[in-house]
Structure 1
Amino acid sequence: MECGFLTFILLSLFAVYSSHSGMKDWDDVVVAREGMSTTLTCIDTTVKGAVALNWMGKSVGADEWKLVLSASEGTRFSGAASKASMQLKDSNFQDTGVFSLVFSPKMEDSGLYLCTIKQQERKWKERIILLVILTVTVLPAPTIPQQSTLQLIARVNTDIADTNITWVSPDGISLKSEKMPKIGTVAKLPQVQPTDSGIYGCRVHYWVNSRNSSPFTFDVNVNVANEVASFTNITNGPMISTATQAQTSFPLTCPSVNGDYVMLYWKPPDTKRETSMKFVHQYDRWRGSTMLTEQSKRLQLAGPPYNAEAGSFSFVLTPWIRDGGLYVCNVYFNDNIFSHWTMLSVMKVKTKRLSSKLVLSCQYSERSQVQSANWKLQSRLLDMSSTTLGTITTDVPLPITPDTAGNYTCTLKLKNGQTIWETQAVTLPPKSGRDVSPAPITTPSLPVSLCVLLLLVPLVAAAVGVLLWRQKHISDRGIEQSLSVHSGETENIYENPEDIRQAPPQGSVYMDLKPRGEDDVYKELERYEQCQSLSPTHISSSYSCHICSVPICSRRAL
């Protein structure tokens, strides 16, 4: 029981200590520039009459308060911590209730200030103010040469207050700024021009009692001179000699320093004049601006591990053959230049087919750093020719044979010993016949309406056929009945046409038959004609009705 009680007491004390340790030891924050008049505000208009005022101060982290100024009706006393410039803002404070303290602080005057108001020996009001000293620096000073880098630096001497510093241009636009250790909050404008002259504002925000107070604003006048800056502090790194294939990504490295902006220059390949250097690309990380040229379309700022927005620069080039040459990458930091040079050769292999041969050409730029170039088939060195500087060719007779098929490699060797190559595969032609697959047969598609019509045609034809067969069947029955009546026979003599064709002709009778009515009974017309004039090949064993209008020559026994 006693152990639990002690634990509760300890936890309670710890909670109380934690809550108090997280509390601020001041009621307000005042930011002041060193040497400028500053007011520490302490006002209470509710107290009147005979009052006593004490201002005391101590540095941040100190335990003991020291008297700065003491005043009462008719008497004033300055303590050991007082400065020559310290005075009350209103000497008639007993009537107005304004007890504020005014002075021009120095860097060592920052810290905590306590305003205590007493009346009749009773403490009436107490207020603690944190004084923060701000230092503002403009470089270069006193005037800024053109093309130089303007630096605006602001720093507070204590970080115990939650302060935030921003810089604003004369147009009221917030500038990109960074908080740098042991330096302060920095904003830069590289390559300034006379149009950049004007009044720049430094704004300091702070938090008091979980609220963001109104910012303190300090103005800085910037004047850009007519003279142009001369950059003499240049650090040159070693020049790199290298080569790459055309249309492949190649890294163009820059000095490994964090800079303000980067500029890339280029001297075209196989030229000797230094005056032929051309501007290619520029990126200003403070302004967030980029300047490009036509060649910049094949250039881009490199990604991780590089970070251009933080000042770590490098490029990636996807070159054409004519993009070889000398590349100079200059990184600028506070008007200091760090330079990196790269001599680049670019090679490209091309194939041209003629009637009797295949011409393989290997083209390369920046010949000054190329020691040798050759063509090889596998490991065998080939005969070569060169009609143009920077190009070697070799011929492959046509047709391609197993001896001439294979990987043809062009190899460049630089003067520094580095080698680079590109391979062109030459393959045998496909075998005729078996290797040639027949062309696929494509069946044209028919319109939907035509497909429907084609489906209906056989159905209609079938229906008509059934109808004709039925009518023919009915006609046959009628004729058979009629002839049977006249002959007196019970069997139809026309049922076997082959018997009639083979029988000798004994006379024929021509008959027209027409139906008597709906009973399918046909009568024999009175007109008879002999069919002896017809040849046997014209005698048909079949007959048709009057509907078909086909006369029939038939043979019957008399």
Structure 2
Amino acid sequence: MEYRCLSFFLLCLHLPSPPPPLHLPLPHCLFRPVLLALLLISCTVSAKGADLDESVVTLADAPITLPCSHSPGLGAQRVNWLWKPHGRESWSLVHSANQQGEFYGGAMKPNQQFADQSFLSSGNFSLVFQARDGDGGRYSCEVQTGSRLTRSIVLLVILTVWVSPPGEVPIDSTVSLGARVSALGWEDGVSWFSPQGLPLHSEPLSHPRARGGVRGVLTKLPRVDHTDQGNYTCQILPQGNCTTPRFLFTVTLRVSGTKPASFNITYGSTQVLVGVSPSLLTLPCVWVAGGDYVMLFWRLPDTEEVKRVFLYDRWRGTLENSKKPHLHLARPNPAQSGDYSFLLTLNPGEGGEYSCEVFLDERVYRRSLIISVMHVWSDTFPSMLVLHCVVQERTRLRRLGWRFQDHSVTSLSTSPGQVSTELPLPPPPALQGNYTCCLELQDGQVYRAVYTVTLTPAVLISTSPPSLLSAVSVLGSLLLLVASIAMLLWKRGTCRQQSAMDRSLSFSPEGENLYEDLADLRQECTAYVAPEAAVYMDLKPNNEDVYKELERNEKCCS
């Protein structure tokens, strides 16, 4: 039954029954039921188009006053307050009073009363009660004066705010500020502001347990410190007719300087990846939807030095990246997708152990990746071409060596994790072709980098990495280059060198650069996952006869 039906019903109960007209054969006993039925139909139709006159917002468990006024001295005979909760279609009588006294309806509220005890004479029919979480909805104030009935509709919105964790929070912890409104659609007008008055990033928050699909907003303050203390303001902008332009509510945040934050850490499996410099490698991280912030730590190759190279706080919108432009997130919105993978451009020196940490409230998800980087290049001398192969991050290395056309060749270990092989210059046809540097890990996995030697003038260009050359070595290389050119012109011979990498990875001495097929590289990297147990091995030079060392290297990839 609609709200006007109930009020007219109360009005009709006090109307006298007039005599039936002479021209109607309607019995006198049926006059009042027919009148009530006609009023019921009229009330139901007109109530659906009722407009909202006022909106009021209050906190749960706080006193609230619903306004309703009438011109004094008009002789109000009856006042009815009706209530239709959110998501309901029927009205219930909350409070009612007449000239003789006062009585209450079945939907009473705690501490319910009129704001003015002389309401019939003053015309102030405002209703006061203690608002509870479920008291939101539409309230109708109806005043009967003689045969005239006036009404006003007030929308009551209940706001619930919370701070988690409550009380004084530990330093470096993540604080959540939440707000929930009882009226659907009002969450669009809810926002949070810092103690300095700056707007905070917030996101919609569903509350499936609340009636009527109530929604809210949530904002977070990761890694709080004493500068985050103060009063935070929740602002609500009305979504309908309202005399108040905005509603403001504050909560206080206090940060402890002595109580440290504690986190529940979940460790993922350690994965080993091998790439060839330069190439693009995907660093998979943990899969956590809705993470608050992510950090990436890097242990430099073959050392114990650890650096934080990446930090992203999606709530504050801050990003720190010390390896830019060689490192960036693989997804534009990792919090929504849950994918916090990185893309790393492999260059000499980029190997090592990368530890990814994703924080979600008091939980931390951690995963480590051990990246070994292979790099091959050549040095040119007057009568000799030297091919070098170096591996950075050797913790999982078992064997390293050169092969030519699927046959072992003499490999000289010049330093831990580096081998070289020598070719006469110009190389005879029998020594031209693919030279493969083979890397074998402790678990038996084998990775290869291919260097192609042909008879072209490009063989005269040195592709030694700049990081390995000093000023003196550069000058010496230039002198050797001039001598080599003179000798080759005298011999009228030409030679050429090209480089390539197995699985579509190639080396180009002309540009001193590498190019790769990214799809094949990703397939190769993701196809291999290291076992849980790992054996660490560091190759170091010794005083044994170098040919005994070379015999062991000849077994590489056999």
Structure 1 pair 241–130 and aligned structure 2 pair: CA distance change class (3 A): same
Count residues with an aligned counterpart: 411
Structure 2 counterpart of 1:133, one-letter code = I
Unpaired stretches in structure 2, ≥5 consecutive residues? 1-44, 208-214, 458-487, 495-558
Match of 1:300 among 293, 315, 328: 328
1:115-164 Cα shifts (integer Å, max 9, x gaps) = 001112421x2122232222111011111111011100111234266753
* 1:203 CA displacement: 1.4
For 1:67, the equivalent position in structure 2 comes to: 93
1:295-321 Cα shifts (integer Å, max 9, x gaps) = 4552112236x5357764221111333
Structure 1 counterpart of 2:63, one-letter code = S
On the 8 A contact 2:294/2:356 being kept in 1, the answer is yes
Q: Which moved more, 1:408-417 or 1:343-352?
A: 408-417
Q: Give the match's secondary structure for 1:38.
A: strand
The answer on 1:286 being equivalent to 2:315 is yes
On the 8 A contact 1:260/1:311 being kept in 2, the answer is no
C-alpha separation between the residues in 2 aligned to 1:152 and 1:311? 22
Structure 1 pair 348–23 and aligned structure 2 pair: CA distance change class (3 A): farther
1:44-76 Cα shifts (integer Å, max 9, x gaps) = 347634442111223234454322222344622
Structure 1 pair 346–338 and aligned structure 2 pair: CA distance change class (3 A): same
Q: Give the match's secondary structure for 1:186.
A: strand
The answer on 1:164 being equivalent to 2:195 is no
C-alpha separation between the residues in 1 aligned to 2:387 and 2:164? 60
C-alpha separation between the residues in 1 aligned to 2:269 and 2:48? 55
Match of 2:296 among 264, 268, 288: 264
For 2:277, the equivalent position in structure 1 comes to: 246
On the 8 A contact 1:377/1:408 being kept in 2, the answer is yes
Structure 1 pair 277–234 and aligned structure 2 pair: CA distance change class (3 A): same
Match of 1:339 among 355, 361, 366: 366
C-alpha separation between the residues in 2 aligned to 1:91 and 1:396? 109
Match of 1:149 among 144, 169, 174: 174
On the 8 A contact 1:325/1:365 being kept in 2, the answer is yes
Q: Give the match's secondary structure for 1:201.
A: strand
Structure 1 pair 228–268 and aligned structure 2 pair: CA distance change class (3 A): farther
C-alpha separation between the residues in 2 aligned to 1:350 and 1:213? 74
TM-score, with structure 1 as normaliser: 0.68
On the 8 A contact 1:205/1:212 being kept in 2, the answer is no
Give the structure with higher Rg (CA): 1
Unpaired stretches in structure 1, ≥5 consecutive residues? 1-18, 437-558
For 1:353, the equivalent position in structure 2 comes to: 380
C-alpha separation between the residues in 2 aligned to 1:376 and 1:92? 104
For 2:247, the equivalent position in structure 1 comes to: 216
For 2:164, the equivalent position in structure 1 comes to: 139
On the 8 A contact 1:132/1:157 being kept in 2, the answer is yes
Match of 2:258 among 227, 231, 237: 227
For 2:460, the equivalent position in structure 1 comes to: none
Q: Give the match's secondary structure for 2:426.
A: coil
The answer on 1:255 being equivalent to 2:286 is yes
Structure 1 pair 281–20 and aligned structure 2 pair: CA distance change class (3 A): farther
Once the two structures are aligned, what percentage of the paired residues are identical?
36
For 1:505, the equivalent position in structure 2 comes to: none
For 2:414, the equivalent position in structure 1 comes to: 387
Structure 1 pair 416–213 and aligned structure 2 pair: CA distance change class (3 A): farther
For 1:80, the equivalent position in structure 2 comes to: 106
The answer on 1:52 being equivalent to 2:78 is yes
Q: Give the match's secondary structure for 2:395.
A: helix
C-alpha separation between the residues in 2 aligned to 1:313 and 1:178? 19
Structure 1 pair 162–389 and aligned structure 2 pair: CA distance change class (3 A): closer
* 1:366 CA displacement: 1.4
Match of 1:199 among 221, 224, 231: 231
C-alpha separation between the residues in 2 aligned to 1:370 and 1:212? 74
On the 8 A contact 1:281/1:296 being kept in 2, the answer is no
C-alpha separation between the residues in 1 aligned to 2:70 and 2:371? 77
The answer on 1:425 being equivalent to 2:452 is yes
On the 8 A contact 1:147/1:228 being kept in 2, the answer is no
Structure 1 pair 300–24 and aligned structure 2 pair: CA distance change class (3 A): farther
* 1:391 CA displacement: 0.3
Structure 2 counterpart of 1:415, one-letter code = Q
* 1:348 CA displacement: 0.4
1:239-269 Cα shifts (integer Å, max 9, x gaps) = 1011111231111121110200001112222
The answer on 1:374 being equivalent to 2:401 is yes
C-alpha separation between the residues in 1 aligned to 2:285 and 2:222? 19
For 2:505, the equivalent position in structure 1 comes to: none
* 1:193 CA displacement: 0.8
Structure 1 pair 427–132 and aligned structure 2 pair: CA distance change class (3 A): same
TM-score, with structure 2 as normaliser: 0.68
The answer on 1:30 being equivalent to 2:59 is no
Alignment of 1:530-545 (within 5 A): none
C-alpha separation between the residues in 2 aligned to 1:391 and 1:351? 13
Q: Which moved more, 1:327-336 or 1:110-119?
A: 110-119
* 1:114 CA displacement: 1.3
On the 8 A contact 1:57/1:114 being kept in 2, the answer is yes
Structure 2 counterpart of 1:180, one-letter code = L
Structure 1 pair 172–23 and aligned structure 2 pair: CA distance change class (3 A): farther
Match of 1:177 among 202, 207, 218: 202
Structure 1 counterpart of 2:381, one-letter code = L
Structure 2 counterpart of 1:191, one-letter code = R
C-alpha separation between the residues in 2 aligned to 1:24 and 1:354? 95
